[in-house]
Amino acid sequence: METTLIILKPDAVQRGLSGRIISRFEEKGLKIVGMKLMQISQDLASTHYEAHRERPFYAGLVKFMTSSPVVVMAVQGVGAIAISRSMMGATFGSKADAGTIRGDFGVSNSFNLIHGSDSPEAAERELKLFFKDGEVLSFERPGDAWVYDMSSGSPE
């Protein structure tokens, strides 16, 4: 099982899309093991996006991410990182396929609704930035028996 960070960005929250986007993750079979509405501080945004510090869009990105509340989620499942990124669609809404979150709800190349960790290493780092110890939960979900085929002894 992988756990990944998902952020519903200020444009998703301001447009009232949070519930519809969260539902997509649950309907896919992924488990939400942590979630909160928060205002990202300047320091947290700067740390989260530090890999982009030298890029021309960095200052605008930090300003955007601190402009309004966001929803942060810890999402878990087999292959959760790749599945989540596939669900998100291409970075730019104008280029994202229909059926993806960005393809269905976005047209902007700047406001792209959602962030998802791009690797296990990034997920581990990012989850620690946004969730304190004890805020990402571990629990059984009986319905998982209908999400994953366990007949071979491991989830498929």
Other Cβ atoms closer than 10 A to 2: 18
pLDDT digits (tens, 9 = 90+) for 5-50: 999 999 999 999 999 999 999 999 999 999 999 999 999 999 999 9
- C-beta separation of 101 from 87 below 8 A: yes
Comparing C-alpha atoms, which of 49, 48, 67, 69 is closest to residue 58?
49
Decide if 53 is inside a domain. Answer: no
Which residues are catalytically annotated?
115
Overall number of domains in the chain: 1
**pLDDT at 153 (0 to 100):** 81
pLDDT digits (tens, 9 = 90+) for 104-117: 999 988 899 999 99
Instruction: Identify the CATH number of the domain in which residue 88 sits.
Output: 3.30.70.141
| Domain containing residue 23 | 2-39+70-132
Decide if 56 is inside a domain. Answer: no
pTM of the predicted model as reported, rounded to 2 decimal places: 0.94
